[in-house]
C-alpha cells in the first residue's frame, strides 16, 4: 500500500477520510486501490480526469510502468488523445457505441479509416479541405475531401502552394507556433510551424504537403478513399 501511495503522491492523505479529500485525491486513491489488489485485468475509466496537468503526466508514466511491470491487461477509457496515443498498444475508437476503427496508435494516426477517426486522433486535429479551398491547378474531385494534419503543412512560396490562408491567431508554444488561419473561402485551418518573430496576424501564408501526408475521403460517406 505504501508503494502505491508513493507512486500516486498520496502518502500525506492516508489517515484522512474520503470526505476530506479533493476530487483529484479521491481519483488517485481509487487508482491505488486497483494497484494494491494486483488484478489480472484493470479497467480505467478516465482515471486522470481530475488531476492537474503535471500530475496527469506523472501518473500516466506510472500507469505505463505498472503495465510493463505487471503484464496485466488494461482497458483504458479516455477522451484524451495524448493518453490514448502514449499508453495504448491498441486503440479502439468508438462513436455512439459503434466501433469506427481499431489498431495501433500509429495505424490510426497514419491511416485513419474515415474523417471522424482522422479528426479525433491527433492534437490539433486534422484539417479538412474541399476543391474550393485549394489553389488553381490542384487536383481534387468535387466529391472528395482532402485531409492534412497541422504538422504536415509546410510553408512555401505562393507559386508552389497547395493552399493559402491569412493568420487570425498565433499560439506560441515555445518550440513551435500554432497558426490559426482562414481562407478566402471561409475555411479555417491550423498549421504547426517553426517559431518566427516575423509572423503576425493578418499575414498571408502559403503551404504545401507531401503526397504521403495527404489523406483523401469521400465527402458523402466520409470514408477513406
Distance CA 124, CA 177 (A): 12
Residues 8, 59, 64: CA angle, nearest 5 degrees = 120
* pLDDT tens profile 33-56: 777 777 888 898 988 887 888 878
User: What's the grid cell of residue 111?
Assistant: 491511416
User: Would you place residue 1 in the very low, low, confident or very high pLDDT band (cuts 50, 70, 90)?
Assistant: low
> What cell does 142 get?
468535387
What residue ranges define each of the domains in the chain, with the CATH number in brackets? 2-89 (3.40.50.300), 127-218 (2.40.50.140)
pTM for this entry: 0.82
Instruction: Return the higher-pLDDT residue of 39 and 79.
Output: 79
β-bridge mates for residue 77, sequence order:
45
Residue 33: its pLDDT value, please? 78
pLDDT band at 61 (very low <50, low <70, confident <90, very high): confident
At what angle are helices 23-37 and 53-70 packed, to 10 degrees? 10
What radius of gyration do the chain's Cα atoms show? 22
Q: How many CB atoms within 10 Å of residue 63?
A: 22
CB atoms near residue 28 (< 10 Å): 25
How many CB atoms are closer than 10 A to CB 203?
13
Could you report the per-residue pLDDT of 154-205, keeping only the tens digit for each? 999 998 999 999 999 999 998 899 999 999 999 999 999 998 888 999 999 9
Q: CA end-to-end span of the chain, whole Å?
A: 52
Output b/e per residue, 133-171; b: 16+ Cβ within 10 A: bbbeeeebeeebbbbbbbebbbeeeeeebbbbbebeebe
Cβ-Cβ contacts under 8 Å for 73 (sequence gap 6 or more): 40, 41, 42
Q: What is residue 5's DSSP assignment?
A: H
Residue 7, pLDDT score: 67
Q: Which helix (H) or strand (E) holds 209?
A: none
In this model, does residue 221 exceed pLDDT 90?
yes
At residue 59, the pLDDT reads 80
Express each pLDDT in 118-135 by its tens digit: 999 988 999 999 999 998
Cβ atoms of 208 and 185 closer than 8 Å = no
Amino acid at each position: 500500500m505504501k508503494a502505491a501511495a508513493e507512486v500516486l503522491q498520496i502518502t500525506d492523505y492516508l489517515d484522512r477520510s474520503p470526505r476530506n479529500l479533493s476530487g483529484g485525491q479521491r481519483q488517485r486513491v481509487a487508482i491505488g486501490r486497483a494497484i494494491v489488489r494486483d488484478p489480472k485485468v484493470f479497467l480505467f475509466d478516465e482515471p486522470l480526469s481530475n488531476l492537474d496537468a503535471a500530475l496527469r503526466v506523472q501518473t500516466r508514466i506510472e500507469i505505463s510502468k505498472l503495465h510493463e511491470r505487471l503484464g496485466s491487461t488494461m482497458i483504458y477509457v479516455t477522451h484524451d488523445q495524448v493518453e490514448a496515443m502514449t499508453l495504448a498498444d491498441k486503440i479502439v475508437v468508438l462513436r455512439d457505441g459503434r466501433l469506427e476503427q481499431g489498431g495501433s496508435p500509429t495505424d490510426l494516426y497514419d491511416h485513419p479509416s474515415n474523417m471522424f477517426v482522422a479528426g479525433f486522433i491527433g492534437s490539433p486535429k486534422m484539417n479538412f479541405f474541399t476543391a474550393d479551398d485549394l489553389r488553381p491547378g490542384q487536383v481534387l474531385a468535387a466529391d472528395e475531401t482532402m485531409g492534412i494534419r497541422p504538422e504536415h503543412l509546410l510553408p512555401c512560396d505562393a507559386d508552389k502552394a497547395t493552399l493559402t490562408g491569412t493568420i487570425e491567431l498565433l499560439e506560441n508554444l515555445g518550440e513551435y507556433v500554432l497558426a490559426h488561419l482562414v481562407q478566402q473561402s471561409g475555411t479555417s485551418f491550423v498549421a504547426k510551424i517553426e517559431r518566427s518573430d516575423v509572423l503576425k496576424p493578418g499575414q498571408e501564408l502559403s503551404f504545401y504537403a507531401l503526397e504521403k501526408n495527404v489523406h483523401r475521403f469521400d465527402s458523402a460517406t466520409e470514408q477513406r478513399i
